[in-house]
Structure 1
């Protein structure tokens, strides 16, 4: 919907009006398949020569609307919906790489992604190499091999909020002919559009801010439409090989959208990570208010970061652009805000984190982000619980780290709850210090 603003497109892009009833809201097409008009119509649909759908595994009308809307908001040419954010990562990379291929990543990724990389994806024969998030352009170019099939990054890393220089990685992609794949979940297309910086593919966990209400699981993959798949034919022969029965290749038939066409009609169709249209119905309602919620999320997150910065129980606040040397990068890439994850390091370590989390009254202690409700979790014992101490330390995950996904409640209420829980940490520390002092005095009198 060129020429229209983001706020308008989040409501209208990709929408359909039901032909029978005229329903203005996209209906839930709760159907596994679709009736063929004739024998020949079925042949044409399965051969991919018809624009009409054959099966809901990869082509449900409700899901298509949401995929096209997300693609429009990201500035891409097409999108595909899948069952979760993890499925989106797996499918996006499977459409690019096969056993023996090499993928470059930053060293700051969500732990669930890292777990899949060192687990299922490695078992499938993919090789991954991580570079520091602040590696320079020449270092990235030098790391590219003939077998490299993707550069993978998160626009805002979860949980510490490091911001990757997408413009730099976009230049690396252009210089090397390797597509840049960006997980834009934390930023959302309202705050950042990686395609504008050279990304070929954008991934979302739609369960988070796009859906926004913590009610559904889903993922999305957006084809940016700007990558030259023809020039990269040697790296991606599967997009250029003729299809069965003499049909043209994906690159010949779909051009700039060759990737998404292959993703939908081969990878997603064969793996089958289908998202239910009933979930997509809720996702669509979430997307319609994305800009409004993100403005509130960001404003609340900034206020929370400010309020906790000087609390004596807090050793450090992690929020993009604050005391991390990234202020210029954040201002350049995220002018409308740096998301709504605020992580705090508690000076008292794991015991302080336990006291803090168990003392929360309004804020929910649970694993999730991007909810309208404020959520908190101790990552070291949960999300990063399978790592050893050295591995956690290497990622900046301290014993006292708590991730807070700031919601849209009244910010005074959020801050008040966080501060009373932090005050409880201080009180517990004072009690512990008193007990230790008393024990030391007794030891001195009765050694």
Structure 2
């Protein structure tokens, strides 16, 4: 995540970081061509011996319902990848509610412009079953569907989302199923943002809400960030940038509350599976804190977040937060002409109030809302600058790559990220943690004078 500038005097100082969502469920093997059950499948006679209509119990046609809903949803989302608007809207029936039809048409248009495709149903469960009713009488019920998708040209891995649907069909006849309600379950996706503007280039997919000047700015700063990241890492990952209109929308996209955002100006979010490279990240800009930044500060924030996305897409092992956040800060501030003491002012303030730290920041120091958070970013930046000054920035990149999966480790130590860094310090930089900490402490002492 990236945080608002710390003070007016330090107009570009922004604390930054990264969050990872739960791993996406794997795409299902369902191919979207399952046959719908015939009308009345799974039901008994609709009349009793006296000719009186008999209600069909929900459990009598539950299996047929699940199969029909799964098939309908798969076919509907497959239509998006084919740009088949009629196929998408056809699931609403012959006479859909006008408001529902208009909303769903707008969602389709936004998905199509974004390049969303490769949809797969990963799971489905009914949240409210239909009520018992005579065969042929329309009934409604609710279901939650889990799907995965990719954005063409940007996602190399699937990304998951959940959808709450209201379905309608004659009792016992799921083949005549229609969708009568649809809404995000929990976290929305960018295509759920009204008035979304889509700008696609080889290096960025910008999904923004706002006027042309706001969209143009995000596009331009995304290009600047890509240049700065590539200059250090060697390449920059083509990234998806989401710029909603409100902090409430940003929090929803990130699965947080607005209080949980604090002064966050941007955050990287995406599925991350141990041992695999990230391939479906989104960088979400938070309007409130973003608006408080000066232009150079906005470039710092976007460069920091793109560093995370690029590194996550080319490494397979987690590293300590002091290394990941410190490296992103190193890249982001590299072209910024500000006194170092100004950039790391919160860190110096903390050290003055307590004492010289004996070790590098712990992961717990980066917990959102903790008093140690602003200082942790500054202390981490100083650690990475110390390494770069002694060994050179290209050597720091080699160190990161080795610690993040580029070097072999004994199986018993694979979960120890600090041990991976120690191994890389020795094998890549021919130094030790003790030596790094000593030089880092000396740098702090000089800044405190």
Answer with 1 or 2: which has the greater Rg: 2
Which protein has the bigger strand share?
2
TM-score (norm: length of structure 1): 0.25
